[in-house]
Structure 1
Amino acid sequence: MSANDAPTGAILQRDQQTYAIVPRTPVGLISPEVLEALNLVVKKYAVPIVKITSGQRLALVGVKAEDVDAIWKDLGTDVGQALELCVHFVQACPGTSVCKFGVQDSLGLGLEMEKLFVGRDLPGKFKLSVSGCPFCCSESFVRDLGVLGKKSGWTVIFGGHPGARPRIGDVVAEDLTKEQVIELSEKLIGYYAANAKKRERAARFVERLGIEAIKQAVLG
């Protein structure tokens, strides 16, 4: 079976026989109900590997093709995007919810951005991150769009990338309120959607257009 024939929400693995699925776990939060469902599914379908991903999601790896649809039904979660050209996820650190270093509510902002942006169709893959303090535990400088909390407000970063051609993102604006972050994020994602080439990640988009041109377009 080829990757094009993969069941819904499944990623063909290197053995060319089994699949990985990635249940959606907004900002890495997992409820007791989802944990219980995961436990039952892993045992029922003999899933050999359960792995926490870099995007704070759980990957169930080694799933048989004939089990994929049944697993999604049993889990009862939304399908997490992995290969689609869209916003895949928002990762976030604990922020002021529990962390002694947190200076901003990264979980709260992350959840709001998750609801607004995840699944939105775009020219390329797009990943977001929200860090609640300058330690930047959620890797905001190496995500397509990152947000970093400081005592003076939020910083918005655009065009980061952690892959084979890594790039530190550019600061677009600082000392923002939560509402201003969401407004600016809408503008940045919208500008990227309208002007990026197909499969062009934000890092390459910034390299092609230049961050100053992008800032002028979204900041006026």
Structure 2
Amino acid sequence: MDEKEKKTDILEKGAILQRDGETYAIAPHSPAGLLTPEKLRTIADVAEKYNVAAIKISSSQRIVLVGLKEEDIDSAWDDLGMKPGSAIGVCVRSVRVCPGTTFCKRGKQDSLSLGLKLDEKYHSMQLPAKMKIGVSGCLFSCSESAVRDIGFIGDAKGFKCYVGGNASSNPRVGELIAEGLSEEDALLLTEKIIDYLKAKNSKKRLGKVIEENGLEQFKKEIGLV
């Protein structure tokens, strides 16, 4: 086996091996997709300094630097001064958030407030299986919350909670398990769901775990019935 075949993702550095088998992509974390002009300038400066092949906006609301040489990864992170986004690994991969009532005229609930609190508490948390969370401020659901492991969608009465969704090779729309939730309710329910997944200790996504154990049993175990 030659050196090229031995290369793989470098989890501890948040570096994802690219198709060429030689270079890597890194994704600085931008909670709720929010960035300042200063951070944007820094990202651009790092991209130019290390001559990256591309700058890509990901579906998880991150700006990805593609095509870094392995020997440049550490210094690129030092120059960025940002935490890695958890684009790989068995953990809470992303908390995708829409503008909500902070900016959007259609917003019914403050998705940014809830999303930032969820991101701060759970982003990169190690779990038995990967997890994605979505928070949308209205029924248009721009964060595609119904196809996230845990998804919240705002309406005039509060947040609706969907669980077990994913958009993988076998797409699954999440199950609606609660409505009219306040932000505090949503945070507490998320904690109970994640505790449930930890207790099951399954490598399968939340939707599969719910299917195997039954929705009503799941709701019972997290205190909804």
Task: Provide the TM-score with structure 1 as the length reference.
Answer: 0.96
CA distance in 2, matches of 1:210, 1:167: 15
2:183 maps to which residue? 178
Using the TM superposition, give the Cα deviation of residue 111 of structure 1 relative to its aligned residue in structure 2, in angstroms: 0.4
Deviations 1:84-125 (A, max 9, x none): 111122111111111111011111110011111112110111
Q: What residue ranges of structure 2 are gaps of 5+ in the alignment? A: 1-5
1:104 maps to which residue? 109
| Count of residue correspondences | 219
Q: 1:212 to 1:102 in 2, by over 3 A?
A: same
Task: Provide the TM-score with structure 2 as the length reference.
Answer: 0.94
Q: What residue ranges of structure 1 are gaps of 5+ in the alignment? A: none
Using the TM superposition, give the Cα deviation of residue 48 of structure 1 relative to its aligned residue in structure 2, in angstroms: 1.3
> Does the 8 Å contact 1:13/1:62 carry over to 2?
yes
Using the TM superposition, give the Cα deviation of residue 211 of structure 1 relative to its aligned residue in structure 2, in angstroms: 1.7
CA distance in 2, matches of 1:71, 1:65: 10
CA distance in 1, matches of 2:11, 2:139: 41
> Does the 8 Å contact 1:7/1:68 carry over to 2?
no
Matching residue's letter, 2:206: A
* Cα root mean square deviation, aligned: 1.3
1:121 maps to which residue? 126
Using the TM superposition, give the Cα deviation of residue 6 of structure 1 relative to its aligned residue in structure 2, in angstroms: 6.5
Report the secondary structure of 1:3's partner residue: coil
1:82 counterpart (78, 87, 98): 87
CA distance in 2, matches of 1:150, 1:103: 5
Using the TM superposition, give the Cα deviation of residue 203 of structure 1 relative to its aligned residue in structure 2, in angstroms: 2.0
CA distance in 1, matches of 2:29, 2:175: 28
1:146 counterpart (147, 151, 174): 151
> Does the 8 Å contact 1:109/1:130 carry over to 2?
yes
Using the TM superposition, give the Cα deviation of residue 62 of structure 1 relative to its aligned residue in structure 2, in angstroms: 0.9
Between the aligned residues of both structures, percent identity stands at: 45
